[in-house]
Amino acid sequence: MLLLLHCRFSLEMHMVHQSADNKTAVVGILYKAGLPDPFIRQLERSIKKVKDKKDKEEELGAVDPSLASRRMGQRYYRYMGSLTTPPCSEGVIWTILRKVGHTYMRSLCCGCWHLTDYENNARPRQMINGRLIGFYRPPKHEN
């Protein structure tokens, strides 16, 4: 679980992307309990489809991440890290949206359905170990 500014969050969404040349990037969105989130709602049906598919892949189709980014803004943190679950591969570009989203409890529980068998499958939090964490914000436009 990501610890950002000494805060833990109700839900972390990690969207893992792999390029044709086998490079990996993760886009992370942090959530607290609150009002319904349209992006999470878009994913609920897909999450339910895979809840009983242990150790099997299921094609879920395209997901429109712009629905999240429009609401979450264009500020983000970026650093080089690794996957948080086996095989914990290094050389992963992590991008964490700065703005914390809100979603309601039904969505939080939806995300838990597929995790019950994997609760001991994530490694402990890692130290920074000299890694640089960059912060991006779009330039202000002058009128």
Taking 50 as the pLDDT cut, the residues of the chain under it are 1, 113-114
Which of 71-86 are b and which e, b meaning 16 or more Cβ less than 10 Å from the residue's Cβ? ebeeebbeeebbbbee
What is the pLDDT, as a whole number, of residue 55?
66
Which residues make Cβ contacts (< 8 Å) with residue 109, sequence separation at least 6?
none
Quote the pLDDT of residue 134. 93
Please tell me the predicted confidence (pLDDT) of residue 143.
Answer: 55
Q: Which CATH architecture has domain 11-52+62-99+109-136?
A: Roll (3.10)
What is the per-residue pLDDT across 102-143, written as a single tens digit (0 to 9) for each?
Answer: 777 665 565 554 455 555 566 777 778 888 999 999 888 765
Beta pairing, strands 11-18 & 76-82: unpaired
Q: DSSP string covering 70-84, please?
A: HHH-S-EEEEEEE-S
116 near 48, Cβ under 8 Å?
no
Give the pLDDT score at 52: 67
For residue 21, the model assigns a pLDDT of: 95
